[in-house]
Amino acid sequence: MDFKNANELLTLCEEKNLPISEIMRLREIELGETTAETVKERMSRVLEIMKDAARSPIEKPVKSMGGLIGGEARKLSIHAQNSQGLCGDLLQRAITYAMATLETNASMGLIVASPTAGSAGIVPGLMLAMQEHYHFSDDQIIQALFNASAIGYLAMRNATVAGAVGGCQAEVGVASAMAASAAVELMGGTPKECTYAASTVLMNMLGLVCDPVGGLVEYPCQNRNAAGVANAIIAAEMALAGIPQLIPLDEMIQTMFTVGKKLPAELRETAMVDALLRHRLVRRVICVVNSETNDFFICKAEEWGVAVATAIDDNAADEKSDKSI
């Protein structure tokens, strides 16, 4: 029951006449050499954690460890209760739960990395919003989570979900693709339509960089989770409307991976641009090594055609001691 790519997954769905979620569930049982009951118990626990992580910050906001976020989800909830929201009920709930989950994450609370901690709000945000809006049962949401897991597995196997490797498109992009696919199946869409939605999400987020603020990802991640869950809803709606995606999911995953590897290291979760070079794109960093102590210093940074000021004197490097990297 294993599959290595989306094409093989769709073939299995067609041959077995089963949805993506069921193929993934059976794969877990077979490859994990376990029982259906054990697999369901584990996913039930996943849903339980997701619910707590998404709802507790709305009731009791907590400041993040970095101090940059905390209380945003509660503000969104109050805004909606006052009938002042621009979004419809589904999107309003989804972005609220997505941002709340990131507050839990940034305050050292328990979350489900889906697929990463920095993108952990998107899948639960949309799943819990759909459960409340459309009155889905826990069992239906659990089954949808297997669908989301299949998309995440494909991205991890064939590309990456790490911001440090592929930028934010790999984290929030893949999480949004997982949520979009699961939403399509929940609403009665076909396996192919699920892959359409996932591919559309990745296409819409190609090139999205990971740009820490103050050396921390908590602030941009929280905002990106809200944007990601909205993107997932849009892609799911398009797929359910019968709009085909011209780029197959396998090709889109590879494209995302290729784009991610081409991003400068400074734009892949390193915070180098923010902390060292004042948000400027860097071409070269010149460093010096003290031959007596082996201390390593950054003495000069160069933007494209412009020398960028740093805390260390540009004249610190000399012909005897400097080493360029």
pLDDT range class, residue 278, cuts 50, 70, 90: very low
pLDDT tier, 293 (very low <50, low <70, confident <90, very high otherwise): low
Checking if the pLDDT of 151 tops 70, the result is yes
Residue 140: burial class (beta carbons within 10 Å; 0-12, 13-18, 19+): middle
Q: Does 162 have pLDDT greater than 90?
A: yes
Q: Which two tokens stand for residue 104?
A: 């839990």
Binned at pLDDT 50, 70 and 90, residue 307 comes out as very low
Question: How many helices (H) does the chain have, and how many strands (E)?
Answer: 13, 4
**Residue among 209, 210, 201, 216 at smallest CA distance from 105:** 216
pLDDT tens string 5-28: 999 999 999 999 999 999 999 999
Greatest extent of the chain over all pairs of C-alpha atoms, in Å: 71
Q: Which ranges of the chain does DSSP label H, i.e. alpha helix?
A: 6-16, 20-31, 36-59, 72-81, 89-106, 122-134, 138-158, 163-166, 168-186, 191-204, 218-240, 249-262, 272-277
What's at 50, amino acid-wise?
Answer: M
Q: Pick 211 or 115 by higher pLDDT.
A: 115
The C-alpha atoms of residue 35 and residue 19 are separated, in whole angstroms, by 20
Parallel, antiparallel, or unpaired for β 322-324 and 296-303? unpaired
35-65 pLDDT, tens digit per residue, is 999 999 999 999 999 999 999 999 999 899 9
pTM of the model: 0.84
- How many Å apart are CA 228 and CA 126, to the nearest integer? 10
Determine the average pLDDT of the residues in 159-184. Answer: 97
**Matching residue, tokens 């995302």:** 256
Average pLDDT, the chain: 88
Q: Is the pLDDT of residue 303 over 50?
A: no
| Token couple for 138 | 């826990």
Q: Where in the chain is the domain with CATH 1.10.4100?
A: 6-267
Does 323 or 72 have the greater pLDDT score? 72
- Per-residue model confidence as pLDDT tens digits over 69-120: 999 999 999 999 998 889 999 999 999 999 999 999 999 999 999 999 999 9
Distance set, CA 98 to CA 15, 88, 256 (Å) = 36, 15, 23
Alpha-carbon span 177 to 155, nearest angstrom: 10
Tell me the per-residue pLDDT of 123-136, one tens digit each, with 9 for 90 and over.
Answer: 999 999 999 999 99
Residue 70 in contact with residue 107, Cβ under 8 Å?
Answer: yes
C-alpha to C-alpha distance for 179 and 237, rounded to whole angstroms: 12
Q: How far is CA 299 from CA 97, 224, 322, in A?
A: 44, 34, 9
User: CATH says 6-267 is which class?
Assistant: mainly alpha
Instruction: Give the pairing of strands 306-308 and 322-324.
Output: unpaired
Question: Is the pLDDT confidence value at 290 over 60?
Answer: no
What pLDDT score was predicted for residue 31? 96
The answer to whether residues 169 and 210 touch, using CB atoms and an 8 Å cutoff, is no
Q: Over the stretch 231-272, which tens digit does the pLDDT of each residue have?
A: 999 999 999 999 999 999 999 999 999 999 999 998 998 867
Confidence band of 291 (pLDDT split at 50, 70, 90): low
Which residues have CB under 8 Å from 71's CB, separation 6+? 57, 61, 63, 103
Nearest CA among 131, 121, 167 for reference residue 261: 167
Beta carbons of 242 and 184 less than 8 angstroms apart: no
Evaluate if residue 288 carries a pLDDT over 50: no
The Cα–Cα gap between 42 and 24 comes to 14
In three-state secondary structure terms, 36 is helix
